[in-house]
Copies of this chain bind each other. A is one copy, B any other.
Amino acid sequence: MPEEAAHAPRTPLAARKETPPAPLPEPFVAELRARLGERFTQNPAVCAQHGHDESHFPDAPPQAVAFVTSAAEVQALVRAAAQHRVPLIPFAAGSSLEGHVLAPLGGVAVDFTQMNRILAIEPENMLATVEPGVTRTQLNAALKETGLFFPIDPGADATIGGMTATRASGTNAVRYGTMRENVLAIDAVLANGEPIHTGTKARKSSAGYDLTRLLVGSEGTLALFTAITVRLHPLPEAVAAAVCPFPTIGAAVHTVIAAIQMGVPLARVEFLDERAVAAINRYSHTEYPETPTLFFEFHGSESAVAEQIELVKTLAEEANGGPFLWANRPEERTRLWAARHKAYFACLALRPGCRGTTTDVCVPIARLAEAVEAARRLIDASGFIAPILGHVGDGNFHTLILVNPDDPDEIARAEALNEAIVTAALALEGTCTGEHGIGLGKKAFLRQEAGETAVAAMRAVKQALDPLGILNPGKIFE
């Protein structure tokens, strides 16, 4: 979700770790120095920069950082790490909300930000192949002349590698799918140092196990990506965006449910409760009515967009929503969505010095009103400031619980609130995470959601592909 990085040093490693990891083996360090030169560093400041993300977890810096520039370097690094049993933690934008890039067991952060070349754009095949460090805005800038775009847009300017690793989505997923649907092929290095290519450039395939989908969402625990082929989509002929206020949370959410059930191909539909709208107004200097609100975007031909608007307006009016505030010019739409994408930092600004604990549940579409209303009751009972916002066309919403990171009691109460919201969503047959991943923070929720047998099967796959446990250890599973 975060739009920009705003890092400040937080809890030092020593404060949270019982036993610091053993120093990196000398031959390993020597090998990597010889191979990468100054791009392998144990500089404490650089390590500290790689020891936190946008989550509320205490800092956990790696023992070294390797700035890789090629698949061959990634291979050499993995082989050395396997030989010396050194954990490798992939790192790029550092915008994870679940502690994915932290190094609680020590090891080497593999920094992919220099592997940021766009390897191929094939407009005629509607796909692009990029290195993992390419960001989503970088890719879209490169697509400018093609009439195509890459739709997946987590709030942060995340990298395609990180987005693949967490099975990310964003505001467009209701129409264009998530990384699950939009990654076609992956080049990666397995834990044994072998390069692997999964998938093809064809849109579909029944050729053996779906290794591409196995790697999408694997959070750096099964392989390190070196190139990713993604689907592109034609820019719509017409686009319309609008903001629509509603009297209640239920009225807004029921409008979305009805539109989805009627098959309206909404491109984006974002819910914000009154606190989130107020935060945006303060942060982005907008003047939206501070009430439960939907941000809509419609894509299609001129007439298709007009039809969608007509239908959605009728549904909104039936729920006593409106009036629609239209953003007709491109710059108005940009302002509207920039405000939405900055919502994470807008909400953080409601409580200076705080950190965010973000819930990320996703429920079947008809249970969405229940889930959001349950979350709101739990928040109100907790006393926390916790705006609600999310990609409600998918059944996915976030609550951003604002916590004082230096108050263990408050953190514990925030975790209890998070757990209560997740438990409510699971009772509605949903998932504990729609798009942020498990990371460090949701391991217990994964067991609760998937059950011990499913988690055991995941572990068996992990054990089969990374028997030494060197790839991002401590994430997804204990």
Contact = CB atoms under 8 A, between A and B. Distances in A.
A303 B262 CA distance: 16
A434 B435 CA distance: 28
A98 to B, nearest CB: 9
Interface in A164-211: 166-169, 173, 177-178, 180-181, 190, 194-198, 200-211
Interface residues of A, number: 91
A408 interface: no
Contacts of A262: 234
Interface stretch (A118-126, A267-275, A351-359): A118-126
A215 B263 CA distance: 28
Contacts of A395: 202-203
Contacts of A437: 206
A460 B465 contact: yes
A205 B208 CA distance: 23
Given A263-B234, A301-B307, A206 B363 contact: no
Interface in A420-476: 429-438, 442, 445-446, 449-451, 453-458, 460-465, 476
A412 B127 CA distance: 37
A39 interface: no
B125 A365 contact: yes
Nearest to A223: B457
B201 A436 contact: no
B206 A217 contact: yes
A458 B124 contact: no
Contacts of A247: none
Contact of A180 (B213, B442, B450, B457): B213
A367 interface: yes
Nearest to A447: B208
Given A204-B362, A206-B217, 15 more contacts: A122-B364, A173-B204, A180-B210, A190-B453, A195-B453, A197-B454, A204-B431, A205-B434, A206-B434, A208-B446, A208-B458, A209-B217, A303-B307, A304-B307, A461-B464
Interface of A: 122-127, 166-169, 173, 177-178, 180-181, 190, 194-198, 200-211, 213-214, 216-218, 222, 233-234, 236, 257, 260-263, 300-301, 303-304, 307, 360, 362-367, 394-396, 429-438, 442, 445-446, 449-451, 453-458, 460-465, 476
7 contacts: A169-B204, A202-B434, A203-B395, A207-B432, A207-B442, A209-B218, A211-B450
